[in-house]
Structure 1
Amino acid sequence: MPDYDAIIIGAGMSGLYQLYRLREQGFRVRAFEAATDVGGTWYWNRYPGARFDSESYSYGYSFSKQLLEEWEWSEHFAGQPETLRYLNYVADKFDLHRDIQFRSRVTAAVYDEGSRSWTVTLENGSRFSTRFLITAIGPLSTPTLPRIEGREDFKGASFHTARWPKESVDFTGKRVAVIGTGATGVQTIQTIASQVGHLTVFQRTPNWCAPLHNGKIDAETQAKIKAGYPEMFARCKETFACFLHTPDPRGAFEVSDEEREAFYEKLYGERGFGIWQGNFRDILIDRKANATISDFVARKIRQRVKNSAVAEKLIPKNHGFGTRRLPLETFYYEVYNQDNVELVDIMETPIERITPEGIRTSDKDYEFDIIIYATGFDAITGSFDKIDFRGVGGARLKDKWRQGPETYLGIMVHEFPNMLMLMGPHTALGNIPRSIEYSVDWVTGLIKFAMERKLTRLEATPEGVKSWTDHVKALGEGLLSNEVNSWMTGINSNVEGKQTRIVARYSGSAPAYRARCDEVAAKGYDELRLG
């Protein structure tokens, strides 16, 4: 008999909830976590300014009424320290720590056909066997550093945003470089600009950003939030991507120019993702419609940045508004009005190398005390590539996915029996915790079904994988976002072999995704090979 009924890799939001659900069913379960504590994304990403861009109350778990009544979010969009406290509160409340082994990085997982079980190997060489293997390793958990010569030569301090030190970093009077202007770069830049002596931002590709409009939650609002949880979570189930926002049913040209402008002004002044997720239904599929919102936000950038040359550098020219995941900001653009902040366009003057003193571009040498790499992640498949997954006959998952992921419902892979992925490729992402809870509940239902019937082998069929993968690819056709190089299309110039676009995410609606998965469960999982 295997050591465990289920092993979970990871103790972030999905791993914690999966552990809770399986233990609730009485199964023997163990979670292995590389970090020293729970939290996943919110453990590692402790860089200055890290916070939600989904409303806090829509981001937390919904499974426990008592938890919802007890916990009070202090801000509409909580910062990383508060979120990490929340996840530790959850782990303590449900006594989850006792079934998690920390400082335990999984390096390999091998399926054995004879015993119908997985052997999981940790970095220290210890091994454990399990009937079911559940990956809770996150779509954005493998940071990437730029392929620039000389990184090891720099004599100052350097950090990747996703591997920030636990101790605070003193920026007072320091010469600081930030490489990257994606979501983490934006949050870091706007937070430290007032603390540093001088800040130099190295930008390759500007991103469209919109105001977050964060604020404290007062007692009256707190009471309304708690009273309205059932309706709010019901709404999240109905919306396209599980956010509080859903597309406006009108097209951008079904209203007058004045109405359209007023609508954009309204969205620009409201909290959160409304301007992205609650905009006209056609802005992400029709170029002319997208041009109207792109032009609007470009005008806002020009209004907010005093130097017109700098403003033009901050306006994207190679993709339309919302076709990449939208960073939300708080006075980010105003940072570039400060005398101690400089923007360097590395498309014009590329970085040639990191020097012992700083950074050399084709134009000049810069000296720095601190370099911050806000260079993102090897997204969606990167966390799978870091582990040597081997299925039937020693098949390597990395080889199987070399031309892009192929999955069944984003949860299973042919030739990898009893392996179940939470938030893997081809699943509905959106407001991730809402998707996590559904995915965990579905996986728990499948394992319970198998255990009750003494089934020891669950596998996706090649037909099922092809059908789902083709469906996911078809859903992406016509979306402007799938024509753009970004982590959502699998592009990462810092990772060898990831310079070709793939369809790595499900781009249909979350309700449609759940309906399909519910259909499979209702039919007794007869689309799987069960044994």
Structure 2
Amino acid sequence: MGDRGRIDYDVLVIGAGFAGLHMLSELKKAGFRCHAYETGSGVGGTWYWNRYPGARCDIESVDYCFLHDRTLHRDWVWSERFAAQPEILRYAEHFADRAGLLPLITFETRVVAADFDALGGVWSVRTEHGDTVRTRFLVTAVGCMSAAHTPEIPGISRFRGERFHTGRWPHEPVDLAGKRVGIIGTGSSGIQVLPEIAEQAAEVVVFQRTPNFSVPAGNRPLTEAEQAAEPAKYDERVALASTTRFGHVVPGTGKPILDTGHGTRLAVLEDRWALGGTSIVAAFTDTGRDLEANALLADFVRDKIRATVTDPETAEQLVPKGYPIGTKRLCVSDGYFATFNRDHVRLVDLRAEPIEEVTADGVRTTGETFPLDVLVFATGYDAFTGALTRMNITGRDGVSLTRQWEKGPKSYLGLAVAGFPNLFTIAGPGSTMVLSNMLRAIEHHVGWIRDLLVTLRSADLLTAEAEADSQEDWACQVAAAASRTLYHHTDSYYSGANIDGKARVFMPYSGGLDVYRRICDSVAADGYRGFSLSRASEPGR
């Protein structure tokens, strides 16, 4: 049979972030021959690459961690309310070492192509080093936001200073002391990095296209009492993982803001602002689905910005307008808006004066030229699909995933794609992804995929493939869930609007992780409804 009869692995995993590590761990425990390829030189995924100053999780540490292992949860002690990148990376490294996963990972190796061999019923996967391996099942764990995006600004290659992207920050320290730094982008990473850069640089120019809502983090060290009490909360957290919208508790009043008196409403919002974190958007039940209700919350945050920024003109430029709060990612940072009160920090409104070009020595807008020594691109990612479509994945009949998703991604449950047998996408488009706690979503996806693979093995089945009709029905459910929210009032990376030429399709499932889990689990309980399961590589008839 030659090479066609060779199968190197039962399951190959692409990526060694939290999703890839957990998938490997579960496959190993279930007795599958498994391996992973990872582009970086270490584990951690998002937290390996995002090393920019100020990088920090916006979910509380005690919720942003694995729950599938009681001992792991008990033995790891978080130091802060919102963990910073170095601590989260240490946690990923601890998990990988504890589970004995490092021998199963080939680092510094990018997958450049994956082709499904219909006759052999296996995936042929090629790396950048020219190696090819064959695997029965292929699981992508590439992350929702890993394909860093730098906009095509004329002249970038001519810039003689240093250039950095927040999503690919150097591992070695970056010395910005005494330098003139330009930051392009004011999304989550731009908002986190600015206060840190302003502490070092001689001058900072922030180039803003769209102002973003940001709330205080209220970060602080966890007390010894809080740390000691955490293990006893394990069972409760496990239960909440499957019964709450986000995978963890986001406390609210349970009341509509429109039915709440002005004084009470203001007191609740002030309490949430002082507490810090994103729970302010869940304080009332109607701010995520009613424009009038949303405006009351948005105006509260806008007034906070105006009260913080001393220069009225700069404040108005920083005030988000024209879209509801929460329909773009709500950013979290202690000190972002106050940083604009510093004499050496300047805001440039690109709506009023767009960038014309990057010069050898800075940035020229339609209104002014800004001499710079360093350019920081906080310009985000080709989110949800970019890491997959850049990988040259080809399914049945030579159809590429990139081509199939040209008009927007469609999948079945965010887990599988019709025409691509035995390919599973952890946190793929069509799942809750970033609209829930990513660790809770990952744990559910990994467990679900593991159980399907065990079922196939037990029944001596070789192929699982999403059915086209089921995929189309799920795409309609994803769109319907989004239509019941305010997301369609905003252009955001949720719908690909940050990438020129990308199809505008709202990609996450917004019905809540609890509802999503019930749907996926009912599919499994019903014999994996919507999948063709067969002993041959041909699709079921």
Query: When the two structures are superposed, what TM-score results if normalisation uses the length of structure 1?
Result: 0.98
Q: Is the 8 A contact 1:388 1:397 kept in 2?
A: yes
Q: Which residue, 353, 357, 373 being the options, matches 2:357?
A: 353
Cα deviation, 1:65-102, whole Å, max 9, x if unaligned, reads 22112211110111111111111111111110000000
Aligned pair 1:513/2:516, yes or no?
yes
Kept after mapping to 1: 8 A contact 2:248/2:437: yes
Q: CA deviation at 1:230?
A: 2.0
Structure 1 residues 390 and 246: CA distance shift in structure 2, 3 A: farther
> What is the DSSP-based 3-state SS (H/G/I as helix, E as strand, rest coil) of the residue aligned with 2:136?
strand
Conservation of the 8 A alpha-carbon contact between 2:390 and 2:402: no
Greater CA deviation, 54-63 or 235-244?
235-244
1:107, 1:121 within 8 Å by CA — same for their partners in 2?
Answer: yes
The aligned residue for residue 70 of structure 1 is 75
Q: Deviations over 1:273-312 (max 9, x none)?
A: 2112x22111111110011001111111111111111110
One-letter amino acid of the structure 1 residue matched with residue 326 of structure 2:
G
Counterpart position of 2:526: 523
Give the aligned residue type for 1:299.
Answer: D
The correspondence for 2:335, drawn from 331, 334, 347, is 331
Q: TM-score, normalised by structure 2?
A: 0.96
In structure 1, how many angstroms separate the alpha carbons of the residues matched to 2:240 and 2:525?
Answer: 24
Work out the CA distance in 1 between the residues paired with 2:132 and 2:252.
48
Does 2:144 correspond to 1:139? yes
State how far apart, in whole Å, the 1-side matches of 2:432 and 2:350 are. 34
What is residue 36 of structure 2 aligned with on the other side? 31
Match of 1:294 in 2: 298
Select 1:305's aligned residue among 304, 309, 325. 309
Q: 2:402 aligns with which of 398, 420, 436?
A: 398
Give the deviation of 1:247 after TM superposition.
Answer: 5.0
Deviations 1:190-225 (A, max 9, x none): 212121111110100000000100000121110112
CA RMSD, 1 decimal? 1.1
Provide, for residues 347-378 of structure 1, a one-character-per-residue CA deviation record: whole Å limited to 9, x for no partner.
11111111111111111111111110000000
Structure 1 position 483, deviation (Å): 2.3
Find out whether 1:407 has 2:407 as its counterpart.
no
Matches of 2:529 and 2:151 in 1, distance apart?
A: 46
Are 1:126 and 2:126 matched, yes or no? Answer: no
Q: Counterpart of 2:157?
A: 152
Deviation sequence 1:378-400 (CA, Å, 0-9, x none): 00111111111111111111111
Contact 1:54 1:243 in 2 (8 A): no
User: For residue 430 of structure 2, what is the aligned residue in structure 1?
Assistant: 426
CA distance in 2, matches of 1:206, 1:237: 34
Distance in 2, Cα, partners of 1:235 & 1:133: 31
1:221-240 correspondence runs (5 A): 221-240=226-245
Per-residue displacement from partner, 1:102-161 (whole Å, max 9, x unpaired)?
011001110011111100010111100000000001110001101101111111111000
Judged with a 3 Å threshold, the aligned counterparts in structure 2 of structure 1 residues 22 and 469 are, in CA distance, closer, same or farther, namely: same
Determine whether 1:451 maps to 2:453.
no
Q: What's the counterpart of residue 3 of structure 2?
A: none
Q: Secondary structure at the match of 2:62?
A: helix
Matched position secondary structure for 1:243: coil
Unaligned residue ranges in structure 1 (runs of 5+): none
| 1:392-424 deviation per Cα after TM superposition (whole angstroms, max 9, x unaligned) | 111111111111111111101111000011000
Report the residue type matching 2:464 in the other structure: L
Say if 2:213 is the partner of 1:216.
Answer: no
**2: CA distance, partners of 1:105 / 1:194:** 36
Give the deviation of 1:248 after TM superposition.
4.0
Q: Which residue of 1 aligns with 2:482?
A: 476
Aligned to 2:467: 461
Query: Residue type of the partner of 2:141?
Result: A
Large movers: runs of 4+ above 4 Å? none
Alignment pair present for 1:92 and 2:97: yes
Given residue 463 of structure 2, which amino acid in structure 1 is its aligned partner?
Answer: R
Distance 2:513 2:211 in 1: 29
Counterpart mapping for 1:260-275 below 5 A: 260-275=265-280
Fraction of identical pairs, as percent = 40
Structure 2 distance, partners of 1:492, 1:333, is 23
1:253 partner SS: helix
Pair 1:488-2:491 in alignment? no
| Residue range with higher mean Cα deviation, 410-419 or 65-74 | 65-74
Alpha-carbon distance between aligned partners in 2 of 1:323 and 1:243, rounded to the nearest angstrom: 20
Matched-pair contact (CA < 8 Å) for 2:237–2:248? no
Corresponding letter in the other structure for 2:236: E
Residues 317-340 of structure 1 show CA distances to partners (whole Å, capped at 9, x for unaligned) of: 121211111000101111011011
> What is the number of residues matched between the two proteins?
527
- Equivalents in 1 of 2:322, 2:258: separation in Å? 23
